[in-house]
Amino acid sequence: MTGAPELVGVTPHLTIRDNKASAAIAFYEKAFGAKELSRHLDDDGVRLMHAHLSLFGGALMLHDDYPEMMGGKPSEPPTGVVLHVEVPDADAAWERALAAGATVRFPLDNQFWGQRYGQLADPFGHIWSIGGPLKP
């Protein structure tokens, strides 16, 4: 991947059900300002085998679900997993994600641990948290 940032550490790699990986990329671009670095379609011309995005200085990979590779059963979104983004203005990031179609899971507010924090669900079943400096 020419021009792609070097991958270090842990990189989330999301499985998107119902052949909606392209829609997920559009959502992440609108909701979080993600930049698409690469996209590789399957030979069927429909499903996305792999995409690499850059957002908030990190990487995110995703692909359409391939139930035939997993015994015929569609993948389920992971439970207990939250993708966290740390931003300088949590309110602006929150509003942008809501406007793109995210739904509130845990309202954004100043938290006792000294951070402005909340959680959203994206339209594809994945949970995101947004954190930033406290709001006066």
What CATH number should be reported for the domain holding residue 107?
Answer: 3.30.720.110
Full domain range(s) for residue 24: 13-68
Number of domains within the chain: 2
In a domain, 3, yes or no: no
Task: Please say whether the beta carbons of 65 and 18 come within 8 A.
Answer: yes
Query: Are 89 and 124 in a shared domain?
Result: yes
Where helices occur in 10-121 by DSSP H, the ranges are 21-32, 90-100
Average pLDDT per run of 10 along the chain, which is 136 residues long?
60 93 98 97 94 94 92 82 95 98 98 96 95 94
- The pLDDT of residue 70: 83
Residue type, 131: G
What's the maximum distance between 2 C-alpha atoms anywhere in the chain? 53
**Could you give the CA distance from residue 56 to residue 89 in angstroms, rounded to a whole number?**
12
Query: Are 51 and 96 in a shared domain?
Result: no
In a domain, 1, yes or no: no
- The pLDDT of residue 92: 97
Task: Please say whether the beta carbons of 30 and 44 come within 8 A.
Answer: no
Length of the chain: 136
Query: Are 88 and 124 in a shared domain?
Result: yes
- The pLDDT of residue 69: 87
- The pLDDT of residue 2: 47
